[in-house]
Amino acid sequence: MAYFDNIVEFEPNLDGSDIRIGIVMSRFNIDIGEGLLSACTAELKKNQVQDSNILIVTVPGALEIPLAIKRMAMSDQFDALIALGAVIRGDTYHFEVVANDSTRGLLMVQLETEIPIANGILTTDNEDQAIARMSVKGMEAAQVALEMANLHFKIDEIGM
């Protein structure tokens, strides 16, 4: 906790030692999904999240992620959730529908349940872009989940 002119300010906290994480990964574009998952879980473990505090489930595609995330959020078993997948542009409008609606679904679940959700669903023009981004995006999704879970704990603690 830092102070700025007598105002309390919370610093980012990535300590995952007591954080319970749920991950939902799309199996569509599975190689990208597994790259995201590998980077994500490595970052969680680097920040002290125990294997026993991580649950990974898979779903067919990105449009199914919000429903699985919602079920996990409603279970009261997780401090934060992570969505992982890849939506790669094709020749039809379907790309926009999937990209927009999966993101909208995650936002709706997050706001409704007040469980932090890190969106690690890549939306790229081609597979090469997805491959180039998967390690960083997986790592960042883990960091977002940890930071937001810890922020929620801190906000609950101060009881203002």
The residue annotated as part of the active site, out of 27, 71, 94, 104, is 94
Residue 94 annotated among the catalytic residues of the structure: yes
Helix (H, G, I), strand (E, B) or coil at 92: coil
The pair of three-digit structure tokens given for residue 155, joined into one six-digit string: 């906000």
The pair of three-digit structure tokens given for residue 72, joined into one six-digit string: 């996990």
Q: What count of other Cβ atoms lies within 10 Å of the Cβ of residue 133?
A: 18
CA distance 8 to 2: 6
Give me the residues paired with residue 83 across strands. 24, 119
SS3 content of the chain, % helix, strand, coil (to 5): 55, 20, 25
- Residues known to be catalytic: 94
